[in-house]
Amino acid sequence: MQPGSLRRLNARLVTVGVLLVVCWIAIGYRLVVVQALEADVYADQGRNQRLQRETLAADRGKIFDRDGRELAVTIDSVTVYANPREIEDPTTVARLLAPLLRMNMLDVLDALTTDGTFAYVARQIESAEADRVREARLPGIYFLTEPKRVYPMGDLAGQVIGFVRADDNVGLEGLEFQYEETLAGTPGELLVERDPYGRTIPQGEYEVVPAEPGSDLVLTIKTEIQFAAAEALERAIERTGAAGGSIVVVDPATGEILAMVNAPTFDPNDRSGADPVLFRNRAVTDAFEPGSTMKLVTISAALEAGIATPDTLYEIPRQLERGDTTFTDATNHPSELTVTGIVAHSSNLGTIMLGEELGARELHRVLYAFGLGQSTGLDFPGETAGLLRTPDDWCETTCIASTSIGYRVSVTTLQMAMVFATVANDGVWVQPHLVREIVDGRGARVPVDPLQRRVVDVGTARSMRAMLEEVVSGGTGAFAAVDGYRVGGKTGTTEKYLYDEQAYSEDDVVASFIGMAPIDDPRVVVAVVLDSPQRDASGGKGAAPVFSEVALAALHQLGVPPDGE
Partner 1 sequence: MATRTAAVPAAANAVRRRLEVPDRRPARMIVLLLIPVALLAVIGLGAILSASSVLAIREGVGNLYYFKRQAVWMGVGLVALVAASATPPRVLRRLAFPMFVGSVVLLVATLVIGTRAYGATRWLVAGPVTIQASEVAKLTTILFLATLVSRKETSMHRLRDFMWPVAVSVGLVGVLVVLQPDLGTALMVAFGSFAILLASAAPFRYILGGAMFGTGAAVVTALASPYRWARVTAFLDAGSDPLGGGYQVVQSLVALGTGGLWGVGLGASRARWSFLPNAHTDFIFSIIGEETGLAGSLMVVLLFVALTVAGTLIAFRARDRFGRLAAIGITTWLVAQALVNIGGVTGVLPITGVPLPFVSIGGSALLTEMAAVGILISIARDSAAGGRP
Contact 125, 79 (CB under 8 A): yes
- By beta-carbon proximity to partner 1, the closer residue of 5 and 326 is 5
In order, the DSSP letters of 337-402 are EEHHHHHHTT-HHHHHHHHHHH-HHHHHHHHHHTTTTS----SSTT----B---GGG--SSSHHHH
- By beta-carbon proximity to partner 1, the closer residue of 23 and 458 is 23
In order, the DSSP letters of 494-526 are EEEEETTTTEEEEEEEEEEEEEEESSSS--EEE
Amino acid type, 243: A
Q: Does 32 bind partner 1 (CB under 8 A)?
A: yes
- By beta-carbon proximity to partner 1, the closer residue of 6 and 136 is 6
Pick out residues in 45-64 that bind partner 1 (CB under 8 A): 45-47, 49-50
- Out of 88, 203, 272, 561, the residue judged to bind partner 1 by CB under 8 A: 203
- Out of 147, 187, 188, 204, the residue judged to bind partner 1 by CB under 8 A: 204
Q: Does 4 bind partner 1 (CB under 8 A)?
A: no
> At closest approach, how far in Å is the CB of 196 from partner 1?
5
- By beta-carbon proximity to partner 1, the closer residue of 21 and 498 is 21
Contact 249, 225 (CB under 8 A): yes
- Out of 31, 144, 208, 451, the residue judged to bind partner 1 by CB under 8 A: 31
Q: Does 6 bind partner 1 (CB under 8 A)?
A: yes
Residue 292 designated active-site: yes
> At closest approach, how far in Å is the CB of 200 from partner 1?
9
> Among 77, 215, 246, 292, which one carries the catalytic annotation?
292
> At closest approach, how far in Å is the CB of 117 from partner 1?
15
Residues contacting 160, CB < 8 A, separation 6+: 174, 175, 219, 221, 260, 281, 380, 434
CA distances from 558 to 436, 519, 546 (A): 16, 15, 18
Q: Cis omega before residue 450 (within 30°)?
A: no
> At closest approach, how far in Å is the CB of 141 from partner 1?
21
Residues across the chain: 565
Torsion sign, CA atoms 372, 373, 376, 381: positive
Contact 544, 479 (CB under 8 A): yes
Q: Does 23 bind partner 1 (CB under 8 A)?
A: yes
Sheet of 244-251, strand order:
256-263, 244-251, 524-531, 503-517, 488-498
Q: Does 499 bind partner 1 (CB under 8 A)?
A: no
Looking at 191-199, 229-237, 529-537, 543-551, which segment touches partner 1 (CB under 8 A)?
191-199
CB atoms within 10 A of CB 219: 28
SS3 30: helix
SS3 141: strand
- Out of 35, 92, 331, 397, the residue judged to bind partner 1 by CB under 8 A: 35
Report how many residues bind partner 1 under the rule CB under 8 A.
44
Torsion sign, CA atoms 150, 151, 152, 155: negative
Q: Does 206 bind partner 1 (CB under 8 A)?
A: no
Tell me 444's DSSP state: -
Phi, psi (deg, nearest 5) at residue 306: 80, 20
> At closest approach, how far in Å is the CB of 188 from partner 1?
24
Looking at 18-26, 402-410, 439-447, 462-470, which segment touches partner 1 (CB under 8 A)?
18-26
Report the C-alpha dihedral over residues 423, 554, 451, 260, rounded to 10 degrees.
-110
Q: Does 117 bind partner 1 (CB under 8 A)?
A: no
Q: Does 207 bind partner 1 (CB under 8 A)?
A: no
Q: Does 43 bind partner 1 (CB under 8 A)?
A: yes
Q: Does 201 bind partner 1 (CB under 8 A)?
A: yes
SS3 68: coil
> At closest approach, how far in Å is the CB of 46 from partner 1?
4
- Out of 4, 20, 331, 488, the residue judged to bind partner 1 by CB under 8 A: 20
> At closest approach, how far in Å is the CB of 11 from partner 1?
10
Residues at the interface with partner 1 (CB under 8 A):
1, 3, 5-6, 9-10, 12-17, 20-21, 23-24, 26-28, 30-32, 34-36, 38-43, 45-47, 49-50, 193, 195-197, 199, 201, 203-204
Residues belonging to the active site: 292
